[in-house]
Amino acid sequence: MTKTISSDAVRGHLFRVLGVGFGLAVIIGNTIGSGIFRTPGQIAAHLPNVWLFLAVWVIGGMYALLGALQIAELGTMLPRSGGQYVFARHALGEYAGFISGWSDWISTCGSTAAVAIVIGEFSRVLFPVFRGWGIALGITITVLFAALQWRGIAWGSSSQNITSSIKALAFVALIVACFIFGKGTAGATAIMPVPTGFALIGAFVISLQAVIFTYDGWTGVVYFSEEVEQPGKNIPRSLFIGILSIIAIYLLVNIALLYVLPIGKIAGQDFAVGLAANEIFGKHGDTVFRSLTILSMLSALNAYHLMASRVLFAMSRDGLFTARGATVNKGGTPAFALLISVIVAVLFIVFGQTFERVLAVLAFFFVANYTLSFISVFVLRYREPEKERPYRAWGYPWTTAAALLGSILFLAGAILSDTRVSIYALLLLAVSYPMFRFLKHLR
């Protein structure tokens, strides 16, 4: 829940006014996006077996829970807004922080653009008056949500709470509708054989990669650590309740899909949820699916704005961007950081498909950032054993090692499955160091 900002709040500082409710809202808003619409069809194509199909979602959720154990320790030990950049910089140095922060910020701005484009495209189909204005509508919605946040954290957090609540209720309604109107087809025979041997292992790894990307975003609350009241208690609560909620939603959505459609029919579908909606709602299925997608995207867009501005704010405060980026307005919003983030997002929207390769490269850094965070747990346990840790990772060092190993295996799989993207990522890493030195010289 968000509390009213007191009149004696100091201008120029972030306000510690956020509670568990906001933490849950930003985790759900940031995580549940277009992935849950696209991923089931991809996984069913690789694993056309009900139990294997569901198992990969459970394992992906367990990986997220393992990661949350580590992020909860770091977030309560270092309660500063800015996401995983804060952990990498503190434990591994400025350059590691620079890589983590810049890749996170740019990819979040790109995600804002991708979501805005989807909203515009789907809206022009639902509402003929918007035909030909999809890009303009995406830009307008992007700017409108930024304007809400410009007024202050109270407005930004309230819009996040509302949009995430609507999203969660919409998914619950879809799940219930599937079980009420579905025909129970889970036992239907797949239209393709299930792979065996090494082919099965490969299919499972590829599917797990897609699931982990779909779960990505569960760290949302640590972007606001210094704005969360009682961070030692509320950050872990938000992480664990949020992840368990997402696991439940994802599993129920997939079980509901299997209840409506045989897995062979789900396989290869770009929008399996849309196909299920057509099955149970008939001619209104497309309208239901597109409306659900727009509701889901609005919540994600608001979360991306909030998060991108905090990453750039934190880097500016540490001297890795212009000093103006560290300014905070009277409402508690990093105004200049938000402005720059919105400008970059709008540029991505305008240039459309040209940023797809950039996002593919930066997606490599998503899990790389997790890897840096898990390494940071080990480093800080060794280097700062006496530092206060309101929450200590359960099962350390075994759970930490398992999370780190999972990330390394994921990165290895990404390199093997898309060598070109990996080369681009390594080139970006090479170019980043001169940029890092240049920005340090300017400051």
Q: What is the pLDDT of residues 270-328, one digit of tens each?
A: 888 888 888 888 888 888 888 888 888 899 999 999 999 999 999 999 988 888 999 99
Residue-averaged pLDDT of the chain: 87
pLDDT in tens, 58-92: 999 999 999 999 999 999 999 999 999 999 999 99
> pTM here?
0.88
CA-based Rg of the chain, rounded to a whole angstrom?
21
Q: Is the pLDDT of residue 3 over 70?
A: no
The whole-number average pLDDT for the span 220-236 is 94
- Give 114 or 6, the one with higher predicted confidence: 114
Q: Is the pLDDT of residue 365 over 90?
A: no
pLDDT in tens, 124-148: 888 888 787 888 999 999 999 999 9
pLDDT in tens, 161-220: 999 999 999 899 999 999 998 777 655 554 567 877 878 888 888 888 788 888 988 999
The whole-number average pLDDT for the span 245-263 is 93
pLDDT in the model for residue 360:
62
